[in-house]
Amino acid sequence: MTRPDPLAAMPAWMAQLADTTQWQNLLKPMQFPSAPAGQPAIPGVPAAEFDPAVMASLQAKYMQELGSLWTSTMSAPAAAIADKRFGAPAWQANPMGSFNASAYLLNAKFLNAMTDAVKATPKVKEKIRFNVQQMIDAMSPANFLVTNPEAQQLLLETKGESLSRGLTQLLADMRKGRISQTDETAFEVGKNVATTEGAVVFENELFQLLQYKPLTKTVFERPLLIMPPCINKYYILDLQPENSLVRYAVEQGHTVFLISWRNPDASLAHLTWDDYIGLGAFEAIAVTQQISGQEQINALGFCVGGTILSTALALLFARGEKPVSSLTLLTAFLDFTDTGIIDVFVDEEAVVKREQAIGQGGLMEGKEFAQTFSSLRSNDLVWSYVKSNYLKGEAPPAFDLLYWNSDSTNLPGPMFCWYLRNTYLEDGLKHPGKVSVLGEPVDFGQIAAPTFLYASREDHIVPWTSAYASMALLNPKHPKLNQFVVGASGHIAGVINAPAKNKRSFWSNDKVAKSAAEWMEKSTEQPGSWWPSWAAFLQKHAGKQVKPRAYGNADFPVIEPAPGRYVKAKSS
């Protein structure tokens, strides 16, 4: 008896899916409707080539799995799907919904397999992989009302109210030009975020310097200067009292100063990287020294703030100055050999376009940064909100971190283009003397100070192995002055991990290793936050205990209460 072919019973559209020629066309240079012949579907990515034998194998395997899926759909109740996008009971209760989700995941699996089979250089393959994944994420049946049984069920239960609310929220977001990720009316800077008590004691056109009120009877004589990234607002380090790194440092007995970068507008569109070093880092260090009366301070740089701080310190130490007794770097790049997924956005062509557009003046707009970073985790930061906000009509909940994430900042074009070319594209800063800032060669090896380096294990912005590469650049003659720890979670959540929460874990290893992999292999995992380890490091270099100082001094009187005006300026 001849065994029936399950593929023969499939609808015509499913039979077409089994033809991998169509998949190849997705990855080969498809034509844009308005593009000349030969233009690739992904700009900047050349035509893809495939090994015929590999493609034949993939096609056979795909047809087999598609047939099995169809057979199981016709003969058994829908099984639960592990992917959280399809976890609601409505997906299993609706046979077509369950099949659509399973078929989508199967197609995604084989599109990714085809991407891996492309004959291309690693960088080109990574670009193809990223763009294909963007397409896969966008085409999920969860993203469309007509293929989302969960949203359809809610539509019926609410008699259309869910869709009405969703459309209202969609129109509101279209006016804002971005997807709402949180209830932005629930927060106000200075009222329920960025609330640690302090004062603005200095300002120039680029930043305000905040000094925080002591919370202990005595303080360490050497203050702590914090330099946050200029790509975001500083208050990620001071969200709520229970998860504020600023408040934690103050509670440990440190006099904390912090840079609040100005959100650039057209009047600052001419500023350069040199300005961020001279007007920014140099000024902040000097004012902190003068107010505290200390020749040496402790300094912390977070993300791009760490790159700016390290560049400034390299120049100051080369001049014979020794302005810091310790340096802390949190998820910061000095060595840009491996920039992770961000590398897909950076090549000579892309950088030249930026330089031509804003390199001599203009702004890199904060909303473009936000869109770029959201695309790195599009399922979590884009499509999940499309489903909840628009298809289901749910109002996004109040979440302080996502409020901060939506409070974007601009960057001056000349500064951004210099940074993009000299770091991400050419990786020049790590080579002693290759790059000059303020007319002086930069050599991180000049910095002679004990250094605490923190990285996040799941960081997609600064891979932890890249953060470890700083160990070879700092204190090269005295590597034991460097201490490295790795925390669980990502770029932000790993950093903002207060001890009181007793969450996550971190890895430590007091010995210097030749590679990041060797360091991790011999490290010890410890429960909880890495903050106490950092506090112990900082205390060793903070000096003796003294009476707290008042805000500022005669030369630097109080300008206004913290958080100041600069942090409240919104991007247009």
| pLDDT digit string (tens) for the chain, length 572 residues | 343 343 444 444 444 444 444 444 544 433 223 333 343 444 444 556 777 888 888 888 888 888 888 888 777 776 778 899 999 999 988 888 888 999 999 999 998 998 888 888 888 888 889 999 999 999 999 999 999 999 999 999 999 999 999 999 999 999 988 899 999 999 999 999 999 999 999 999 999 999 999 999 999 999 999 999 999 999 999 999 999 999 999 999 999 999 999 999 999 999 999 999 999 999 999 999 999 999 999 999 999 999 999 999 999 999 999 999 999 999 999 999 999 989 999 999 999 999 999 999 999 999 888 888 888 889 998 999 999 999 999 999 999 999 999 999 999 999 999 999 999 999 999 999 999 999 999 999 999 999 999 999 999 999 999 999 999 999 999 999 999 999 999 999 999 999 998 899 999 999 999 999 999 999 999 999 999 999 999 999 999 999 999 999 999 999 999 999 999 999 86
**Closest C-alpha among 178, 186, 160, 109 to residue 386:** 178
> What's the CA gap between 535 and 52, in Å, rounded?
59
Read off the pLDDT of residues 161-194 as tens digits, 9 standing for 90 and up: 999 999 999 999 999 888 999 999 999 999 999 9
404-407: long-range contacts (C-beta < 8 A, 24 or more apart)? 404/193, 404/232, 404/233, 404/235, 404/236, 404/239, 405/181, 405/232, 405/370, 406/178, 406/180, 406/181, 406/182, 406/184, 406/370, 407/189, 407/232, 407/233, 407/570
**Alpha carbon distances (Å) from 248 to 170, 189, 256, 477:** 39, 19, 10, 33
Read off the pLDDT of residues 400-451 as tens digits, 9 standing for 90 and up: 999 999 999 999 999 999 999 999 999 999 999 999 999 999 999 999 999 9
- Residue of 151, 199, 206, 303 with catalytic role: 303
16-29 burial: b if 16+ Cβ within 10 Å, else e: ebbebeebbeebeb
Within 10 angstroms of residue 530's Cβ, the number of other Cβ atoms is 25
167-187 burial: b if 16+ Cβ within 10 Å, else e: eebbeebeeeeebbbbeeeeb
> What's the CA gap between 26 and 55, in Å, rounded?
14
Residue 349, burial from CB neighbour count under 10 angstroms (0-12, 13-18, 19+)? exposed
Calculated CA dihedral for residues 421, 426, 430, 434, nearest 10 degrees: -90
**Closest C-alpha among 566, 564, 565 to residue 212:** 564
Q: Which residues make Cβ contacts (< 8 Å) with residue 14, sequence separation at least 6? A: 66, 70, 103
- Tokens standing for residue 514: 């030749």
Residue ranges of domains in the chain, CATH in brackets:
6-148 (no CATH), 158-184+366-407 (no CATH), 198-355+414-568 (3.40.50.1820)
Assign 510 to helix, strand or coil.
coil
- Tokens standing for residue 119: 């004959």
pTM flag (> 0.85): yes
The residues pairing with 260 across neighbouring beta strands, listed in sequence order, are 208
Q: Which residues make Cβ contacts (< 8 Å) with residue 458, sequence separation at least 6? A: 488, 489, 490, 494
- For the chain, the residue count is 572
Cα 53 from chain centre: 39
Determine the pLDDT at residue 66.
84
Within 10 angstroms of residue 483's Cβ, the number of other Cβ atoms is 21
> What's the CA gap between 57 and 27, in Å, rounded?
17
The backbone torsions φ and ψ at residue 545, rounded to the nearest 5 degrees and listed phi first, read -85, 135
- Tokens standing for residue 484: 């490295």
Query: Does residue 303 have an active-site annotation?
Result: yes
> What's the CA gap between 50 and 297, in Å, rounded?
58
* 68, 58 contact by CB (below 8 A): no
Calculated CA dihedral for residues 236, 240, 242, 245, nearest 10 degrees: 30
Assign 187 to helix, strand or coil.
coil
Q: Which residues make Cβ contacts (< 8 Å) with residue 77, sequence separation at least 6? A: 92
Residue 308, burial from CB neighbour count under 10 angstroms (0-12, 13-18, 19+)? buried
Side chain identity, residue 296: Q
> What's the CA gap between 464 and 396, in Å, rounded?
31
